[in-house]
Amino acid sequence: MPECRSRRLPLKLVAALIDTGADRVNARLMDLDDLFSSKPTDPLIELARQDLGPLSVAELEARIAALREEIDRVERHLTETAAHRAQADALFAKR
């Protein structure tokens, strides 16, 4: 009986495992939106998904430094936004 090379399972078993769900693999046509999403992916999610294993110590330190700079930038923006909001609230406050 032919076998799956990666795990040495019989091909019949592999085929059965692939199609165990309610929908078969080719049960529906692929939507182009599945291939080309109109929404860009969230950079934070992509950042968290990155494999850090291949990075050297120097690359990891550079990454930490860049992330700290980004945190500082976001905190500055947050402070500015809060101040702007406070000014707008004071301007439009009911008296």
pLDDT tens for each residue of 52-85: 999 999 999 999 999 999 999 999 999 999 999 9
Instruction: Report the SS3 class of residue 10.
Output: strand
Would you list the domain boundaries of the chain? 11-91
Q: Identify residue 60 by its one-letter amino acid code.
A: L
* Cα–Cα distance measured from residue 62 to residue 56, given in angstroms and rounded to the nearest whole number: 10
Contact 14, 4 (CB under 8 A): yes
pLDDT tens for each residue of 2-17: 544 555 666 665 555 5
pLDDT tens for each residue of 20-33: 555 555 556 666 66
- Sign of the alpha-carbon torsion through 31, 35, 36, 40: positive
The pLDDT value given to residue 8: 64
The pLDDT value given to residue 80: 97
Which of 83, 65, 86 lies closest to 75, judged by CA?
A: 83
